[in-house]
A and B are shown apart, each in its own frame.
Chain A
Amino acid sequence: AQKITQTQPGMFVQEKEAVTLDCTYDTSDPSYGLFWYKQPSSGEMIFLIYQGSYDQQNATEGRYSLNFQKARKSANLVISASQLGDSAMYFCAMMRRDDKIIFGKGTRLHILP
């Protein structure tokens, strides 16, 4: 079965520290896409970063980078120099062969001043 697993329901990190949010996925498809979304307390879903299964390099977008380890089926999100505004729920997601996108249960990140 295809699924996304986020094992950290909650994390507390000191401001300005780097943080890694874990995501593992399970699929037998050779081609897939991996996403990270941020959901602040206001509720909207904000796209952060995308990694294609055939991409040779890890994706980066500003302070966000995706540590993609294909053999381990992991797609961890790394946020460098965390800020108070990074406090939110973070969802890892995967687009399957049938074009459906499935989400993990999320990790709630708290940045401490």
Chain B
Amino acid sequence: DTAVSQTPKYLVTQMGNDKSIKCEQNLGHDTMYWYKQDSKKFLKIMFSYNNKELIINETVPNRFSPKSPDKAHLNLHINSLELGDSAVYFCASSPSQRERTDTQYFGPGTRLTVL
């Protein structure tokens, strides 16, 4: 009964390829997020969706495109992968975007390695 799940857990790919990471939450939350954790363990938010609508879009290259088919899913598609994209990507969800202090629950992370 995993709350926030991501697939795949590990992803190794060549530079220039296009790849997707999937995220699903079964908590009934309205809001989902994508974070990037770099090699120095610093977490930065990338995107936030509330009920399938884009809320937060940080300064992220447009090679990154989130897609939310429904409020339980937020997938991250990355085009033309670059070496600097290597990182751990975390999906998270929270009950509501309106309640600013809602706890976010994180998925297990996807370690992306671009060769």
Please give the residue numbers on chain A whose beta carbons come within 8 Å of chain B beta carbons, in ascending order. Answer: 31-33, 35, 37, 39, 42-47, 50, 52, 89, 91, 93, 95, 97-103, 105-106
Residue in A31, A44, A52 whose CB lies within 8 Å of B106: A44
Contacting pair B101 A37 (CB below 8 A): no
Considering only residues 46-61 of chain B, those with a C-beta below 8 Å from chain A are 48, 55-56, 58
Measured between alpha carbons, how far is A106 from B92 in the docked complex, in Å? 18
Contacts A97-B100, A99-B55 given; does A44 touch B108 at CB 8 Å: yes
In the complex, how many residues of chain B place their beta carbon closer than 8 angstroms to a beta carbon of chain A? 26
For the complex with contacts A43-B109, A45-B109, 17 further pairs of A-B residues with Cβ separation under 8 Å are A31-B100, A32-B100, A33-B101, A33-B102, A37-B106, A45-B90, A47-B103, A50-B101, A52-B101, A95-B102, A98-B56, A99-B97, A99-B100, A100-B48, A103-B42, A106-B41, A106-B42
The answer to whether B48 and A99 have CB atoms under 8 Å apart is yes
| Cβ-defined contact, A101 with B88, below 8 A | no
Q: Is the CB of A50 within 8 A of B103?
A: yes
Contact at A44–B42, with CB atoms within 8 Å? no
- In the complex, which residues of chain B have a beta carbon less than 8 angstroms from the beta carbon of A35? 103-104
List residues of chain B with CB within 8 A of the CB of A52. 101
CA of A102 to CA of B33 in the docked complex: distance in angstroms? 13
- By a CB distance below 8 angstroms, the chain B residues around A32 are 100-101
A47 to B41, CA, bound (A): 16
The answer to whether A43 touches B108 (Cβ under 8 A) is yes
Given contacts A50-B101, A99-B56, A99-B97, contact A45 B41 (CB under 8 A): no
Interface centre among A35, A42, A44 (most CB of B within 10 A): A44
Give me the 4 closest cross-chain CB pairs, A-B, nearest first: A33-B101, A45-B106, A103-B43, A44-B108
A43: chain B residues within 8 A (beta carbon): 88, 108-109, 111
